[in-house]
């Protein structure tokens, strides 16, 4: 059986490489989720701020990163980053073209896109917190920072889980575009395997199925997290 040999772990098999690629896809998406949480939190704070120029800044960021194709942003970060790295290299006396590490470029690009979506999720979650709770905290003399830590953040995290599920699914699929930078994640490995064995149809089906495994498995994880975080809440509409 030729197909089993090609997908196996033997000398001619691509199985191990494809599974490594799947792991790399997971790692790069996790890294982009972390970058997106950090930047997205800042953008959400800017959009909720009382200063008009911060709000304009936040809105500009979310408009650009949600309205421009992901591929274009990956090109910007990868080629732009490589230009910057080369310039720094020249300043330090290293000649020639220096490429930006493709893992870093990919995680940064998908992370910055995910930040724009996460900012909207966090903003919506903040709006869902009853105003009275924040006022109550202030009225018993809780300092603002402690109010953020004790009252606001835990509830934002709870309300944001369904939205974060959507963002995670988007990023997982966006991560396939990082293959254009040559990072050997699932998409790229599938592409190389398909090209060198000429079994395009079979390898792309296998790659697609592995992405389906990733998306459906993580969906379950998010749903159980949502159930868990809602344990202390009365059951209402739209709960899983």
Taking the complex as a whole, the smallest distance from the CB of residue 199 to another protein amounts, in Å, to: 8
Helices (H), 97-199: 102-128, 131-139, 144-147, 153-174, 186-197
In the complex with another protein, which residue's Cβ is closer, 67 or 132? Answer: 67
User: 101-133 in b/e burial notation, b at 16+ Cβ within 10 A?
Assistant: ebbbbbbbbbbbbbbbbbbbbbbebbeebeeee
Is residue 69 within the footprint of another protein (CB under 8 A)? Answer: yes
Which residue in 17, 19, 76, 157 binds another protein (CB under 8 A)?
76
| Type and span of the H or E element at 23 | helix 15-48
Is residue 183 within the footprint of another protein (CB under 8 A)? Answer: no
Is residue 62 within the footprint of another protein (CB under 8 A)? Answer: no
The site that binds another protein (CB under 8 A) totals a number of residues, namely 39
Is residue 212 within the footprint of another protein (CB under 8 A)? Answer: yes
Is residue 80 within the footprint of another protein (CB under 8 A)? Answer: yes
**Torsion over CA: 220, 224, 230, 234 (sign):** positive
Number of helical H runs and strand E runs in the chain: 10, 0
Q: What is the CA radius of gyration of the chain?
A: 22
> CA 233, 148, 50 angle in degrees (round to 5)?
115
Q: What is the DSSP letter of 93?
A: T
Is residue 64 within the footprint of another protein (CB under 8 A)? Answer: yes
Chain residues 91-120 in contact with another protein, contact rule CB under 8 A: none
Segment contacting another protein by CB under 8 A, of 44-52, 114-122, 149-157, 174-182: 174-182
Where do contacts with another protein occur on this chain (CB under 8 A)?
Answer: 63-64, 66-72, 75-76, 79-80, 83, 172-177, 179-180, 187, 190-191, 194, 198-201, 204-205, 207-209, 211-212, 215-216
């Amino acid at each position: 059986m030729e197909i089993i040999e090609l997908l196996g772990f033997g000398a001619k098999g691509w199985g191990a490489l494809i599974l490594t690629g799947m792991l790399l896809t997971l790692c790069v998406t996790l890294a982009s989720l972390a970058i997106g949480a950090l930047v997205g939190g800042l953008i959400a704070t800017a959009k909720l701020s009382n200063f008009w120029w911060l709000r304009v800044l936040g809105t500009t960021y979310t408009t650009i990163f949600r309205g421009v194709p992901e591929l274009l942003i990956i090109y910007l970060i990868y080629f732009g980053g490589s230009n910057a790295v080369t310039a720094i290299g020249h300043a330090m006396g290293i000649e020639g073209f220096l490429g930006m590490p493709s893992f870093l470029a990919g995680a940064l690009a998908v992370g910055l896109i995910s930040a724009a979506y996460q900012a909207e999720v966090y903003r919506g979650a903040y709006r869902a917190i009853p105003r009275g709770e924040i006022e109550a905290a202030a009225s018993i003399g809780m300092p603002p920072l402690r109010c953020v830590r004790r009252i606001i953040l835990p509830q934002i995290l709870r309300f944001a889980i369904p939205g974060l599920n959507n963002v995670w699914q988007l990023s997982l699929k966006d991560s396939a575009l990082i293959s254009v930078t040559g990072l050997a994640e699932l998409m790229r490995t599938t592409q190389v395997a398909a090209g060198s064995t000429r079994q395009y149809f079979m390898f792309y089906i296998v790659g697609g199925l592995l992405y389906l495994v990733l998306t459906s498995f993580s969906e379950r994880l998010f749903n159980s997290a949502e159930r868990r975080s809602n344990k202390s809440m009365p059951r209402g509409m739209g709960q899983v």
